[in-house]
Amino acid sequence: MSFASKRKPRESMLWIVGIFLIVVMVLAAVVVREGSGVWIVTALAVGAILLITALAHDLLRRARKALLPVGGGGDLAQLIRSLVVESHTDFLTGLHNRRSYDQFISEITRASSQLGGRVALVLIDIDRFKSINDRYGHPVGDAVLKALSRRWHDAVRGSDLLVRMGGDEFCLVLTGVGLDEALVVAEKIRNISTASLIVGGLSAERTALELTVSVGVLAWSTTQGPGAAKALDQADQALYAAKAGGGNQVVGKNAV
């Protein structure tokens, strides 16, 4: 395929005419010595305008092509929606990420009157996770995170938000529940986490891992309790107490 044929007909014509004018007018100026300076200037000006116009069309075409999905039909809105979803999704587990958590907390705080202001933050941390990475390697550690994420995701309500906060720490946001209900959910999370997990890559026999998690629960009133940042800090304190107590347990408290 020739250089010109890759462009649309109008763009190709502008390129051809521009180059043709420059060549012809320069040759004419050489033959006709009288007023050759005016001929050259005119030829170059007209040719340059046409060439710049063709170049601008070409650059715009390339920019539009770069913005469109590969093989797509020009649905730029769909591409933007996909990018927004990716920006709110954890790349490893497919769960929500910290940005999604912040936005969700902001939304439920504004809608607190409809929810009765009752929210529970359930922080989950895998006990001695670093030892898994150190012993088996990070690919196995990543497989553990993904497998546990799927278990937790399948065990909670569709209206709940499960977030990977970072590393091996996760947060489950429960709406419309108090401390007692949240503790029941937290114990469910702890129990399903302790079931043997078989992960490929540990050995030829796909050795099973025995895992435990620590869980901190905070029952929070968005209408009367502390702000979002302080609530998360108090939930983290509950998680720290669970880990300090030896792990594999749930510690819950009401926000103050």
Mean pLDDT of the chain: 79
Structural domain spans, the chain: 4-67, 89-254
Q: Which residues pair with 98 in a beta bridge?
A: none
Q: What is the CATH number of domain 89-254?
A: 3.30.70.270
Q: Which helix (H) or strand (E) holds 124?
A: strand 118-126
pLDDT for position 36: 52
pLDDT for position 204: 42
Whether 121 and 231 have beta carbons less than 8 Å apart is answered as: yes
Q: How many helices (H) and strands (E) does the chain have?
A: 9, 7
pLDDT for position 209: 80
pLDDT digits (tens, 9 = 90+) for 95-131: 999 999 999 998 888 876 565 688 999 999 999 999 9
pLDDT for position 49: 77
User: Comparing 16 with 68, which gets the higher pLDDT?
Assistant: 16
Closest listed residue to residue 36, CA positions, set 45, 27, 47, 48: 27
Residue 3: which pLDDT band, with cuts at 50, 70 and 90? Answer: very low
Residue 168 pLDDT more than 90? yes
User: Comparing 199 with 82, which gets the higher pLDDT?
Assistant: 199
Closest listed residue to residue 168, CA positions, set 249, 93, 110, 229: 93
Kindly list the catalytic residues: 168
User: Comparing 121 with 159, which gets the higher pLDDT?
Assistant: 121
Whether 212 and 168 have beta carbons less than 8 Å apart is answered as: no
pLDDT for position 100: 92
Residue 243 — φ and ψ, nearest 5°?
A: -70, -40
Residue 167 pLDDT more than 90? yes
